[in-house]
Amino acid sequence: MRAEARAKRDAFLNKLKSRPVVMGILNLTPDSFSDGGRFQNPDAAIAHAKSMVVAGCDIVDIGGESTRPSASPVSEAEELARVEQVLTALTGLLDVPVSIDTSKAAVAVRAVEIGAAVVNDVWGLQRDPSMPDAVAQAEAAVIIMHNRTEKDERADILADMRRFFDRSLALAAKAGIPKDVIILDPGIGFGKTSRQNVEAVARIPDLKDYGLPILVGASRKAFLGSLTGDGIEATLIGTVAANLVAAAAGASIFRVHDVAEHVAALRIFHSMHGNITR
């Protein structure tokens, strides 16, 4: 890992100890569920990333493959082609770190070579057998997200998350990934029913015994529409409300599309919640 990326990685991890942290989403895909196609042009993508940093985000998460249900998989070469130019530009331009949203070890390795500081794996080191060693050798921080191949309304979602995280953490330990660079993500919207998504947020306190920071990615997820009764998932207020509930439950990183609004809401939450809990 480059020295500049290592410094950004460490500064990012240190922030998690003191206040809520906002991760801005930058999808370089034609088919992401919310903003697919908006930032395929490199100039538009770079401008949007810069605007998110101005708005206060602490890290920019770049993805070249949609993870929405039924999305078509893309090859390693195609994913790299989508992200390399923008990654190269942003790692030189931004003061905040960049993370790569990928489940492919080769993409993760190349992204860190360019300057990414964090690997965000929606399959928690379990999809690509090479990923644990790749992350360890790259010295990147890693986000381990819980995922399922399909929904099962009978599943005990907390027990399922714990089994998944235990396996991922065992893979991380075997590869030599230090515990202090690992972040857990309950995987809101991935292989879960609406009820299980709600439960996954509510049970965040039950994951705190891992002693690791918790990231939540509820932004514009479909289950929010089911809670309001109008079926509209992309409303800003629903996402902000869900993230504040997650913050109260103990989450410390929030992966969002709407950066400025979350920076303001979480700043107020942090100030008021800190006074209430003293």
What domains, with CATH codes, occur in the chain? Answer: 3-277 (3.20.20.20)
**pLDDT confidence of residue 276:** 62
Asked whether the predicted pLDDT for residue 225 surpasses 80, the reply is no
Residue predicted with more confidence, 73 or 39: 73
56 Rama sector, left if φ>0, alpha if ψ -120 to 50, beta otherwise: left
Distance of CA 140 to the CA centre of its chain: 14
Predicted confidence band at 37 (pLDDT cuts at 50, 70, 90)?
low
Q: Spot the catalytic one: 192, 255, 267, 278.
A: 255
Q: What is the DSSP string of 4-35?
A: HHHHHHHHHHHHTTTS-EEEEEEE--S--TTT
257: pLDDT strictly greater than 90: yes
Instruction: Given the residues 8, 104, 110, 221, select the one marked as catalytic.
Output: 221
Q: Kindly state the average pLDDT of the residues 138-159.
A: 97
Report pLDDT digits (tens) over 150-188.
999 999 999 999 999 999 999 999 999 999 999 999 999
Asked if residue 142 has pLDDT above 80, the reply is: yes
Decide if pLDDT at 222 tops 90: no
The burial of 248, by beta-carbon neighbours within 10 Å (0-12 exposed, 13-18 middle, 19 or more buried), is given as: middle
What is the pLDDT, as a whole number, of residue 144? 98
255 an active-site residue?
A: yes
Give the E-state strand segments of 87-170 in sequence order: 98-101, 118-121, 141-145
The region of weakest confidence among 58-67, 83-92, 228-237 is 228-237
Q: Is 71's pLDDT higher than 90?
A: no
DSSP string for 172-207: HHHHT--GGGEEEE--TTSS--HHHHHHHHHTGGGG
* Average pLDDT value for the chain: 92
pLDDT in the model for residue 59: 98
Residue 235 in contact with residue 228, Cβ under 8 Å?
yes
Q: Which pLDDT score is estimated for 128?
A: 98
221 a catalytic residue:
yes
Percent over 90 (pLDDT), the chain? 83
**pLDDT average, residue stretch 211-230:** 85
User: Furthest-apart CA pair in the chain: how many Å?
Assistant: 52
User: 97: pLDDT confidence band, cut at 50, 70 and 90?
Assistant: very high
pLDDT, one tens digit per residue, over 121-138 is 999 999 999 999 999 999
Stated as kind and residue range, the H or E segment containing 62 is strand 59-63
